[in-house]
């Protein structure tokens, strides 16, 4: 019997591609591809990868051509907003490709507050999300739909403001624009069709999803080891971020001291280590965790 393979759509090249492939790698899946290859087989699990433009991913998943896809929330939310027949659903929020959809206006122009957007023209590639936002603010404004280079619209005097993706803010600054308000916070999403797949395919989807969850939790988690006097333990344990019950081990030849080992499910910053040290901890080690499974 041939095993049914699932198909996952990933961005071929662009801001989502590297992190998407790294995530698969973290799940123990290796995608080997040549430069122009659009289709790759994964050896470790019955999964095929389709490498496409990100614009195609929501429709490929919605129509069932692909069983999974990784896409920016901005694009997913716009499709969901604009099309009644779009029923794909979010399986996981993946925490990378962070950006926001924001309204921006010329630095020294007349628009100072959201209310000033009334009766203006706003250039955007996200007309449905923008109009929904404007409606929520009781503002009527025209949208000018542009597919790219939205940031030049005010300079060309074809729009008064823009609604576009912002990450570092450098593009806005370079075009003498400033952010007025955020419409949507965005990150990469793992999406699937609403329809049920065959039990065999559902099983592969669930296995991949569990591995992704394990990889993402592990990335945020650290294994912390330290030494402490027993009397300082209550204070020290309180300082360990997101730790469940830590392991306490005796130290050879030091009856008043113990070693503490803990999995911290939140980032451990230098500040946290300094606070641990001030509370009496010594020999503090923070180690990365590669994989995790509950």
Please report, as ranges, the residues that interact with ligand PRT according to CB under 6 A: 11, 14-16, 53-55, 72, 74-75, 97, 99, 164-171, 186
Best CA proximity match to 60, nearest among 4, 9, 6: 9
Nearer to ligand PRT, 74 or 215 (CB): 74
Q: Which does 85 bind (CB under 5 to 8 A by kind): Zn ion, ligand PRT, none?
A: none
CB of 74 to ligand PRT, least distance (A): 5
Query: Which residues are registered as beta bridge partners of 151?
Result: none
Q: Which does 75 bind (CB under 5 to 8 A by kind): ligand PRT, Zn ion, none?
A: ligand PRT
Residues that bind Zn ion (CB under 5 A): 54-55
Nearer to ligand PRT, 72 or 193 (CB): 72
Q: Which does 167 bind (CB under 5 to 8 A by kind): ligand PRT, Zn ion, none?
A: ligand PRT
Burial label, 209 (beta-carbon count in 10 A; 0-12, 13-18, 19+): middle
Nearer to ligand PRT, 97 or 131 (CB): 97
Q: Which does 99 bind (CB under 5 to 8 A by kind): ligand PRT, Zn ion, none?
A: ligand PRT
Nearer to Zn ion, 55 or 274 (CB): 55
Q: Supply the angle between the helices 199-220 and 17-26 in degrees, to the nearest 10.
A: 100
CB of 105 to ligand PRT, least distance (A): 15
CB of 168 to ligand PRT, least distance (A): 3
Within 10 angstroms of residue 234's Cβ, the number of other Cβ atoms is: 9
Nearer to ligand PRT, 16 or 284 (CB): 16
Q: Which does 23 bind (CB under 5 to 8 A by kind): Zn ion, ligand PRT, none?
A: none
CB of 76 to Zn ion, least distance (A): 13
CB of 57 to ligand PRT, least distance (A): 8
Copy the structure tokens of residue 276: 């641990």
Region label for 162, one of left (φ > 0), alpha (ψ between -120 and 50) or beta (otherwise): beta
Within 10 angstroms of residue 196's Cβ, the number of other Cβ atoms is: 8
CB of 72 to ligand PRT, least distance (A): 2
CB of 55 to Zn ion, least distance (A): 4
Q: Are 271 and 237 a contacting pair, CB within 8 Å? A: no
Cα distance between residue 32 and residue 22, in whole Å = 12
Nearer to Zn ion, 54 or 160 (CB): 54
Residue nearest to ligand PRT (CB): 72
Q: Which does 11 bind (CB under 5 to 8 A by kind): ligand PRT, Zn ion, none?
A: ligand PRT
Q: Which does 170 bind (CB under 5 to 8 A by kind): Zn ion, ligand PRT, none?
A: ligand PRT
Q: Are 286 and 273 a contacting pair, CB within 8 Å? A: yes
CB of 50 to Zn ion, least distance (A): 15
Q: Which does 164 bind (CB under 5 to 8 A by kind): ligand PRT, Zn ion, none?
A: ligand PRT
């Amino acid at each position: 019997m041939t095993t049914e393979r699932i198909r996952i759509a990933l961005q071929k090249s662009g801001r989502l591609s590297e992190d998407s492939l790294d995530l698969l790698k973290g799940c123990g899946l290796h995608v080997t591809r040549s430069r122009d290859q659009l289709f790759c087989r994964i050896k470790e699990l019955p999964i095929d990868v389709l490498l496409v433009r990100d614009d195609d991913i929501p429709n490929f998943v919605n129509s069932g051509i692909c069983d999974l896809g990784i896409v920016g929330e901005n694009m997913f939310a716009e499709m969901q907003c604009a099309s009644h027949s779009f029923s794909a659903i979010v399986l996981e929020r993946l925490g990378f490709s962070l950006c926001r959809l924001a309204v921006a206006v010329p630095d020294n122009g007349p628009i100072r507050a959201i209310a000033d957007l009334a009766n203006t023209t706003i250039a955007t590639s996200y007309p449905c999300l923008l109009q929904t936002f404007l409606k929520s603010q009781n503002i009527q404004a025209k949208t000018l739909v542009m597919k790219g280079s939205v940031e030049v619209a005010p300079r060309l005097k074809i729009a008064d403001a823009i609604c576009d993706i912002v990450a570092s803010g450098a593009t806005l600054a370079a075009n003498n624009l400033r952010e007025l308000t955020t419409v949507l916070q965005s990150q990469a999403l793992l999406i699937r069709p609403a329809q049920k797949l065959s039990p065999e395919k559902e099983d592969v989807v669930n296995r991949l999803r569990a591995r992704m969850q394990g990889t993402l939790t592990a990335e945020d988690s650290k294994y912390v080891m330290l030494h402490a006097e027993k009397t300082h333990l209550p204070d020290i344990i309180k300082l360990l971020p997101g730790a469940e019950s830590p392991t306490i081990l005796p130290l050879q030849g030091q009856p008043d001291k113990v070693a503490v080992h803990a999995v911290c499910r939140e980032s451990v910053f230098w500040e946290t280590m300094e606070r641990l040290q001030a509370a009496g901890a010594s020999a503090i080690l923070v180690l990365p965790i590669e994989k995790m499974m509950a």
